[in-house]
Amino acid sequence: MTNQPRDRWNSRLVFILAAVGSAVGLGNIWRYPHAAFSAGGGAFLIPYFIALLTAGIPLLMLEFGLGHRMQGSAPASYGRAHPKWESLGWWAAMGGLIIAFYYTVILAWVSFYCYELVKMLVTAQDQLPWDSKGGAATYLFNYVLTGDENTKHAENVFAPLNWGALLLNGLMWLAIYVTLRKGAESIGKIIIPTITIPLVLLFILFFTAINLDGSSAGLSYYLSPDWSKMDSWQEVIKVAQGAYGQIFFSLSIGFGTMVAYASFLPKKADINNSAMIAGLTNSGVEFFGGFITFSVLGFLALNNGVFVSDAVEGGFGLALVSYPTTISQLPFDVTGQALIGLAFFGSLFLLGYTSAFSLVEPMVIGIVDKFGLSRVAVLRIFCLFGWVVGIIFCTPGGFTLLDTVDHYLNSYGLLGVGLMQCILVGWVYGPKKLRDHLNHVSERRATWFWDFCIKFFTPTVLILLLSLNAIDDLRFLWSDEGQLYSNYTGQTQLIGVGAFALTIVAAVFFAQRKTNKQGYHDIPEFDYGSK
């Protein structure tokens, strides 16, 4: 079977927006502020931006460069860099796909908030949805996650089904199918509104938040350096772990997405500047979102008569409990509160959606590249399968299961792929060879510093992060202070570990299948004089 002409982005701007859309997601809003606070507020910004410059942007350049030079998906690109490394691309793509299986369920929960707020406005109700159900926490855990206020969220309980979440999750997969069915062409059509609209909504939230009573106290916690968090080398390592971990988690590195997206670029693409813009934009959105979050937490602390430190939560607690609680206390009538709520949950949904479909694309294009199957047929199978797998997360025990699978895939799969990428380019393919390509097609030149980061510095950091994660998870074996992740049961832990193991097994399986596409393993010729 011969190769078909490769999809191309309509413009470099669309590519950058697609890369930013993949990177900027739910974690920018609910993970970064808590990471910053835990690591010393303003003091966190120093290691954070060091991490961006020494790991985040170099790895973006690596993934952009490989995808562009090899003109293929992650499996094809890594396999062309060295025939024995194709499985690394499948590992990355499979990890992203499994994350998409539960990421869409989170979006279903977020969209449920949007639906309930719209229904409240249309029917002129006099209470916000969560206020009518006993508060934000009760609403989330005993209603949103279960679909029935008489059914409580509980670990290892997988009945009854949350039919509302299941339906909304089906709509998420239908939307992903429509977005991805024509590849770069259809992604390009939707990426501009899905990026610009949430940014506009975030600006609305920003100006609302900074004018709240108590916002200055929250911003002080956010921006004022707490150097006591760096009194010892153990504390410095902990802060660095938080900074580098946040960079890796937020840039969509290690899923194969950036490799696939870069393969749709024309020959002259200015990859180095594109990586710089995408990395800085992602961090800029995180930093900007921190102003909103800590203004809100300052307001919440003032109203509840507690310190800002007592109001800080991370993850779901921040996005789906603290924010709704704050919205209920805003100095507006219930209609104004509902509109602000729509702005928040709408921006959260759109930012998450661009990340969701970017997690599916690497596996789809990987299958299409290697086996020459119809893109639409492959996409239909994955979307249907994703909806079916999502059923288990639409149950009372779905949340703890989701949290555990997410922990193992991100803490080991994502970082493991990043480490192996550095080994492949730094020690097998050769950093200078890829750097020469980057410089041929870019206005800004990469230097020996990029080689140093990819070959020595970044892999050292990744090994340290993987080791620290393993020590934290296995501490219970030798210390009474240790415990299984989030103190969940062994059954839940096994499912999380099993999901991680599945990515490796699937990677080996797909890598060993024979291709029926002519020239799949060949490095394409590259005319640096063409556009």
Q: What is the pLDDT of residues 221-246, one digit of tens each?
A: 888 877 777 777 777 887 888 888 88
Which pLDDT belongs to residue 233? 76
The answer on pLDDT for 320 being more than 80 is: yes
Identity of the amino acid at 443: E
User: Using an 8 Å Cβ cutoff, are 420 and 253 in contact?
Assistant: no
- Give the Cα separation of 108 and 116 in Å (integer): 12
The answer on pLDDT for 312 being more than 70 is: no
Residue 452 makes CB contacts below 8 A (sequence gap 6+) with: none
Sign of CA dihedral 370, 374, 375, 380: negative
How do the domains of the chain map onto residue ranges? Answer: 12-512
Which pLDDT belongs to residue 313? 65
User: Using an 8 Å Cβ cutoff, are 358 and 282 in contact?
Assistant: no
Q: Hey, what CATH topology would domain 12-512 get?
A: Amino acid/polyamine transporter I (1.20.1740)
- pLDDT tier at 314 (50, 70, 90 boundaries)? low
Which has the minimum average pLDDT: 476-480, 495-499, 523-527? 476-480
Percent of the chain at pLDDT above 90? 57
User: Using an 8 Å Cβ cutoff, are 332 and 154 in contact?
Assistant: no
Which pLDDT belongs to residue 458? 95
User: Using an 8 Å Cβ cutoff, are 13 and 269 in contact?
Assistant: no
Kindly provide the b/e burial profile for residues 505-528, where b requires at least 16 CB atoms within 10 angstroms of the residue's own CB. ebbeebbeeebebeebeeeeeeee
Q: What is the pLDDT of residues 268-311, one digit of tens each?
A: 888 999 999 999 999 999 999 889 988 988 988 898 888 877 77
Nearest one of 215, 238, 214, 213 to 226, comparing CA atoms: 238
SS3 503: helix
The answer on pLDDT for 41 being more than 90 is: no
User: Using an 8 Å Cβ cutoff, are 346 and 201 in contact?
Assistant: yes
Residues 21-26: what's their mean pLDDT?
89
The answer on pLDDT for 354 being more than 90 is: yes
The answer on pLDDT for 3 being more than 70 is: no
- β-bridge partners, 41: 225
Q: What is the pLDDT of residues 427-482, one digit of tens each?
A: 999 999 999 999 999 998 999 999 999 999 999 999 999 998 898 888 877 766 66
Tokens of 78: 């890594």
Place of tokens 């696939």: 260
Residues 121-150: what's their mean pLDDT?
88
With both helix axes pointing from N to C terminus, report the angle between 86-122 and 163-180 in degrees, rounded to the nearest 10. Answer: 120
- pLDDT tier at 32 (50, 70, 90 boundaries)? confident
The pLDDT mean for the chain works out to 89
Listing DSSP states for 421-435 in one string gives HHHIIIIII-HHHHH
Which pLDDT belongs to residue 70? 94
Question: Which pTM value belongs to this model?
Answer: 0.92
Residues 202-226: what's their mean pLDDT?
89
Which pLDDT belongs to residue 237? 80
User: Using an 8 Å Cβ cutoff, are 107 and 320 in contact?
Assistant: no
Q: What beta strand segments (E) does 84-152 contain?
A: none
